A = this chain, B = another copy of it.
């Protein structure tokens, strides 16, 4: 434990030392590092792929699943995509130095609230090595120093990528240690890092729920996190059935593994008999398993669509799969209650032609994204125009919903006067 603890402390202290130079670097220097990295990645693609092959070979021997192997593996196309990502982040506006508020006070004090970097960010992620580059670029652009702790299975890839990142920082006259790839795949090291709340300002776990929960349990540092994505689409009595069906199909089937995919379809009783047969048939056609409450089940049965009986557990489940639970709601109030009770306050949508229903839904649904006549799948940093996405936060404090580069900044109050004192 002593040795691991020392290593964690060294990593954090070096990042903390690099942080001021990053925080005060102007945008052009940060962008120079990002563009240098993009070019360097393309020029060094072969070395990156060679290092990755070591990881892939070891993973294959260790019996990794084909899906995991795919996530781990890099080819020329994937390396190019990383370079392209770095260029895109360089092209974004600088999140540091934005004027967020202030003004002239009655005593003549000139007050301004401006965005500044958080300081040191710890990124913890799993097998995909491209996260190393992505996380380093986000941290760099937002003027932070970062510690990058990827999966044990991607160690060789991440170290090679870390080497390139350090070279690009150096080329732009920024501290090399501003982005440190952790070279030791030790779980105790993560615990040791998570205790260093005096040196590290934010932890961003990127990966499955298991990872997030582990980080949450052990961290003394604030965590920018995504937990559950139990999203609903509610079809109001006044909805246009064709529009509703298109939205539901997209919300469930366009990428069911994502957190913003709809898991539960709620349908107003007055439209259920007219809407459900066509919509459920289309879902079934798309390969979706339908878990229905008794009322929806009867309608489906009449229409010849096969369903399974939904249990209480279904309303609380994030399937991340081609499964949908369906419930008939006697009115909009009960639909909203269902969402606020069983949902995860992530993203919920109403399909309606009624202004009153839309207004009520927007007001009463307590979720980070509330959609009207749109697919829940649109809750996303890119779709919202945030540029790079740090993730989707399921917390209410600091950042809520899709988080852009701003999520890696805080602010500072500047008060400038000519001798003002407190009366």
Give the number of residues in A that approach B within 8 Å (Cβ atoms): 64
The yes or no answer to A373 lying at the interface (CB within 8 A) is yes
Query: Pick the contact of A422 from B222, B378, B417, B421 — CB < 8 Å?
Result: B378
Closest to A385 in B: B105
In the complex, which residues of chain B have a beta carbon less than 8 angstroms from the beta carbon of A201?
A: 396-397
CB <8 Å contact, B118 and A396:
yes
CB <8 Å contact, B396 and A413:
no
Binary B-proximity of A109-124 (CB < 8 A = 1, otherwise 0): 1010000101100000
The complex places the Cα of A182 from the Cα of B254 at a distance, in Å, of 49
CB <8 Å contact, A367 and B250:
no
Chain A binding surface, main DSSP class: mixed
Query: Pick the contact of A375 from B251, B364, B421 — CB < 8 Å?
Result: B421
* Known contacts A109-B378, A366-B20, A247 near B410 by CB under 8 Å: no
CB <8 Å contact, B401 and A371:
no
The complex places the Cα of A378 from the Cα of B109 at a distance, in Å, of 9
Query: Pick the contact of A410 from B23, B371, B396, B415 — CB < 8 Å?
Result: B396
The yes or no answer to A78 lying at the interface (CB within 8 A) is no
Closest to A261 in B: B422
The yes or no answer to A372 lying at the interface (CB within 8 A) is yes
CB <8 Å contact, A400 and B396:
no
Binary B-proximity of A397-423 (CB < 8 A = 1, otherwise 0): 110111000000011111111111110
A-B CB proximity, top 4 nearest: A250-B421, A377-B422, A374-B417, A396-B410
Can you sample 29 A-B contacts with CB below 8 Å?
A: A20-B340, A24-B364, A105-B383, A109-B374, A109-B378, A109-B383, A222-B397, A246-B419, A254-B421, A358-B416, A368-B412, A369-B412, A369-B415, A370-B415, A372-B414, A372-B416, A372-B417, A373-B417, A374-B416, A374-B419, A375-B422, A377-B422, A378-B415, A378-B420, A378-B421, A397-B398, A397-B410, A398-B398, A400-B411
